[in-house]
Amino acid sequence: MSVCDPVNGMHSLFKGALTEQLFISPPPTGVDAAIDENYLIEVRQTIEDNHHQVAGFILEPVVQNAGGMRFYNPLYLDRIKALCDEFDLLLIFDEIATGFGRTGKMFATDHCNIAPDIMCVGKALTGGYITLAATITNDKVALGISDKGGVFMHGPTFMGNPLACSAANASLSLLATYDLENRIKHIEGKLAESLDRCKSQKHVVDVRCFGAIGVVELDQPINQHQIQPLFVEEGVWIRPFGKLIYLMPPYIIDDNDIETLANAIYNVIKTLSKPNS
C-alpha cells in the first residue's frame, strides 16, 4: 500500500499510518522516445542522497497502469538496473498488470536486457478466473531469506490455494499454445486502427496503443456515473478512470469485437462534446 502511486493511488488516505516512501517522478513517455539523460540524473541524485536508508527500487516496467496508462522506453529499465547495482538496491518489477503477454512479450521485463531481483505477478496469472498472486525472486533474494531462518512466516490463510493454482496452470498451458507476440501485435494494430478516429474528437488529447492496451486520453476528468450508462447503451462495459478511457481486452478477442469497443468509445465521446440538453 505504501509504495503505490502517491497522487492517483490510495497512498494519501493512509498518510501517517504507513511507512513514508521516497517517490521519483515518472519516466518521460513514449516507448520509442529518446532517453532523457536529465531524467536519469534526477533518479541518480535521489538514489545517491538516500541509498543508505533505501532497500529497493520498485516500478511497473514499460507501462504504468493505474498511474495514468503511461508507456515508456524499456531502456530506462536497463539504466535503472545499473544504478541499483551501483548502490546495492534490490530492483522490484510489479508485473501484475503487464505480465503474461499484455505488452506483447510474455513479461514487460522481456523488452529490456536485464532481470529484476523480485517480480510481482497476479491478475492474468489465472486468466482472471480466480484470485492468485505470486512473488518471484532470484537466488540472491531467496537464499538471503532462507539463510536467516526459513521462509516468510506471513501468509494468507488460502496461500497456495490448490484450485487457484490449478486454474493458473490451466491458463498458463493455454497461453503456451498461443503465438503470443503475433497475436498481441495483431490486437495492437487493430486497436490503433479502430481508435484512430477518436483523435479528431473534441476533448481528446491523445490516443495511444501498446500491446493489447488501447488508451484514449481526454483533456478533463471523466464523470464515471455519467459515462458508464452510455457505454452500456452501446452494449459494452468499459470502466474509465481519471481522464482515461482504456481497453485491455482478453487475447481471444476478434477484430469485430475490437471495432465494437472502439466504436462505442467514439460514439460516447461524441455525445460528451455536445452541449447538455
Ligand X SMILES: *Cc1c(COP(=O)(O)O)cnc(C)c1O
Q: What residues line the site for ligand X (CB under 6 A)?
A: 60, 65, 94, 96-97, 122-123, 133
Pick the closest to residue 69 from 106, 105, 26, 35 (CA basis): 26
Nearer to ligand X, 115 or 230 (CB): 115
Nearer to ligand X, 60 or 234 (CB): 60
Pick the closest to residue 133 from 118, 146, 144 (CA basis): 118
208, 72 Cβ separation under 8 angstroms: no
Own/partner pairs, 48-53, CB within 8 angstroms, 24+ separation: 48/87, 50/22, 51/87, 51/88, 51/89
What is the C-alpha separation between 160 and 208, in angstroms, rounded?
37
Nearer to ligand X, 63 or 262 (CB): 63
Shortest reach from residue 27's CB to ligand X, in Å: 15
Residues facing 59 on adjacent strands: 93
Shortest reach from residue 237's CB to ligand X, in Å: 18
Shortest reach from residue 98's CB to ligand X, in Å: 7
171, 131 Cβ separation under 8 angstroms: no
> Cell 541518480 sits at which residue?
44
What is the C-alpha separation between 59 and 156, in angstroms, rounded?
24
Task: Select the residue whose beta carbon is closest to ligand X and give its number.
Answer: 97
State the number of CA atoms in the 13 A half-sphere of 56 facing the CB.
13
Shortest reach from residue 134's CB to ligand X, in Å: 9
22-50 exposure pattern, b = at least 16 Cβ within 10 A, e = fewer: eeeebbeeebeeeeeeebbeebbebbeee
Shortest reach from residue 62's CB to ligand X, in Å: 12
Q: Residue 275: phi, psi to the nearest 5?
A: -65, 150
> Cell 512479450 sits at which residue?
105
Shortest reach from residue 266's CB to ligand X, in Å: 26
Nearer to ligand X, 60 or 188 (CB): 60
Shortest reach from residue 20's CB to ligand X, in Å: 19
Nearer to ligand X, 44 or 67 (CB): 67
Nearer to ligand X, 31 or 134 (CB): 134
Nearer to ligand X, 246 or 266 (CB): 246
